[in-house]
Chain A
Amino acid sequence: MKSDAGSALAIHAEGLGKSYRIGRGVRATTLAERIATTLRHPFGTGHGELFWALRDASFEVPRGQAVGIIGRNGAGKSTLLKLLSRITTPTTGWAELRGRVGSLIEVGTGFHPELTGRENIYLNGAILGMRKHEVARRFDEIVDFSGIAQFIDTPVKRYSSGMYMRLAFAVAANLDAEILVIDEVLAVGDLEFQRKCLGKMGEVAGAGRTVLFVSHSLHAISTLTSRTLVLDRGRIAFDGSTSDGLAYYRGLQAAGADSPHAYKAPAGKTGVHLMDGHVLTSISDGLHRHGDPFALEFTLDVPVPVSQLCFSVHIMDETDRAVNHFWIYGDGPSFRNATGQFRVRIDVPKYRLVLGRYTVTVWVTDRATHTIYEHLTNLCPFEITMDGLSRPDYDWSPEMMVYAEDYTWDVRRR
């Protein structure tokens, strides 16, 4: 067994790959289906095509390095993290991690709404792999960081969303792991809280711990990491300095996806997820005239009932600022507590975005458990034009306003 050569390495992955079988009748979920499939195709089980969510990923991470992982939706980021955190097993290849691994695929995993903050700290700590005495030793620090000391003996179901996130992140941030694998946990919470988390993570990375960090926030990636892996269609397309990585990633984004104005979930995706999404624009595919009726259409796949399933959509402008938020929270939409595929359509009678390019961000979450099922960005890029709107003397330009409204003039001589 090699020892000295590998001891400076925290992570060594060689040819890691994960494939799923997709197609009809492959994943029978009831015995009856299984029997029916067997009767129809009595020989062999190799139906459906093999889809590689991640393929041939090889890399080494020296101890103490912070590495960012970026890539478009479905590029294999989550799969890589799930393999390294041992949530799922690879189809090919192997990896070796030296040191205690702490993985944060989400914060607050296993939080129970009926339990108090104190009880949840112990439970969540244990779920993250901490020993009871470690949690006890860190308890005051955790409560301190969360800033909700006076509610520590209140059931968390009475917490606001922000308080909940604070407490959940506080537990995770105090995890004593040599290798931290983190997925997109900064995507939630208010700005101040995000800044605090970012600070804490910078501290962690600075303290000589190895960090693997997936994020959609290029800002977070560039402040926290010096090296970046860019994934594209299941492969590591780039491995190098973060500044070069970000440039490479921007190039990928500019090159665009196969079908630019629609989103389709990568094959083999399971769990509660967005199957597809379209923007219905007025002039042509991806081009919309200011003030015309506009619609967004999505298909949600909900294989297991979720009581507080929430679906919301942001329209982002070119500077990644949310200019619109469409949500379905209240009044129990039919996809709650039910299973199946649901079409969600959002109609805007007169869409008055200012000219420019926009993209769609989609969130699918469970408000009860604060689970993020989907956080997809840069979907369905579209462009708004103000051509043909009467304004003969001047050209329209994107910077002249952030918002346009219908209005009338009334000018009279007094």
Chain B
Amino acid sequence: MTGAPVVRIGAGASGALHRLHEIWNYRDLFGALGVRDLRLRYRQTALGIAWVVLQPLAAAGIFAFVFGRIARVPTYGQPYLLFSLAALTGWNFFSSILTRASASLIQNPQLVTRVYFPRLILPLSVVPAALVDLLVTIVAFLGIALAQGRTPAATIVALPLVLILLGMLALGTGFAAAALSVRYRDVQYLLPVAVQLALFASPVGYSSSAVPPQWQSLYYANPLAAPLELMRWSLLGTPAPTLSRIEYSVAVALILWLAGTWIFRHIEQSFADEI
């Protein structure tokens, strides 16, 4: 026997293990798509990679003006720019993965209708570009912090865990949104509104402690609230949310991940017929 791979074609989805193995076999495609996104992102822009830093800085500047100067929200004694930039870094990581992942199928109809590969690769392949953006922003953040005479808190070692949590929340939702938007284009229009809403419902421009005590539980029903506060905790050493609220976010992330992959698998077989 040659040990040649045997491909079975039939109705019905293949097993989860088999699918994982297949995604692994296509890992170079994951890399190639990630590299493509990075190369294309800032081609034909005059400022190039500087946009990675300028975008969140501009957003933080606007927050600094609106929340810091006009509304004067409490910042645990941190300079407002660092206070908002710390959470904004996490927010941008979340929202760029979610937005790009959800558009990844309908923006590549050529790939979906003309060639086979594990479809999950498409939403997954947005992660490398988001990670690069994140790294650049964090370096900028640390630069600004050092320039202001602040050394990063020791809690920074926990940063990767916080990012994994945010990434899982984004991808779980992104898988579902990507698959559903193949069938219902409404998702394309609904999602930006929801993301915009989530930005203001999350502790990015302000601290969750600014929310009145009787609303705290409701406020933390937003699974993004805990990880975004954790971003600040990790980068600036501000107080962390309670353990139960973190556990809640982790539980939601796991459920979203499972639900997202389930929905994706469910619709996946008809992508080429419906896109």
Contacts and interface: CB of A to CB of B under 8 A. Distances in A.
Interface in A199-218: none
Contacts of A98: 4-7
B65 interface: no
A100 interface: yes
Interface stretch (A89-97, A162-170, A240-248, A325-333): A89-97
Contacts of B183: 29
B109 interface: yes
Nearest to B115: A109
B10 A93 contact: yes
B4 A178 contact: yes
Contact of B32 (A84, A89, A126): A126
Interface string B33-62: 101100110011000000000000000000
Interface residues of B, number: 41
A136 B219 CA distance: 52
Q: How large is the interface on A (under 10, 10 to 19, 20 to 34, 35 or more residues)?
A: 35 or more
Contacts of A87: 112-116, 272
Interface stretch (B23-31, B67-75, B133-141): B23-31
A86 interface: yes
Interface in B100-134: 108-117
A101 B32 contact: no
B10 A95 contact: yes
B11 interface: yes
A211 B161 CA distance: 49
A119 interface: yes
A128 interface: yes
A158 to B, nearest CB: 14
A90 B40 contact: no
B269 interface: yes
Given A89-B9, A103-B116, A271-B113, A123 B36 contact: yes
Contact of B10 (A82, A94, A131, A178): A94
B39 A7 contact: no
Contacts of A119: 36, 39
A30 B28 contact: no
A119 B33 CA distance: 11
Contact of B114 (A3, A92, A97, A105): A105
Given A7-B1, A100-B4, A106-B114, A84 B40 contact: no
A127 B117 contact: yes
B274 to A, nearest CB: 7
A31 interface: yes
Contact of A99 (B4, B11, B112, B273): B4
A270 B9 contact: no
A221 B184 CA distance: 41
B273 A20 contact: yes
A345 interface: no
Contact of A29 (B32, B39, B184): B184
Nearest to A90: B11
A359 to B, nearest CB: 27
A304 B10 CA distance: 29
A339 to B, nearest CB: 11
Given A87-B115, A87-B272, A128-B115, A115 B39 contact: yes
A266 interface: no
B8 A96 contact: yes
Contacts of A106: 114
A99 B28 CA distance: 20
B185 interface: yes
A86 B7 contact: yes
Contacts of A369: 110
A129 interface: yes
B117 to A, nearest CB: 7
B11 A89 contact: yes
Contact of B28 (A91, A103, A132, A178): A132
A110 to B, nearest CB: 5
Given A29-B184, A96-B6, A99-B4, A85 B31 contact: no
Contacts of B2: 99
16 contacts: A28-B184, A29-B185, A85-B115, A86-B9, A86-B116, A87-B272, A88-B269, A89-B269, A91-B11, A94-B11, A97-B7, A103-B115, A106-B114, A122-B32, A126-B29, A130-B28
Top 8 A-B pairs, shortest CB-CB distance: A126-B32, A94-B10, A86-B116, A126-B29, A97-B7, A95-B9, A99-B4, A88-B272
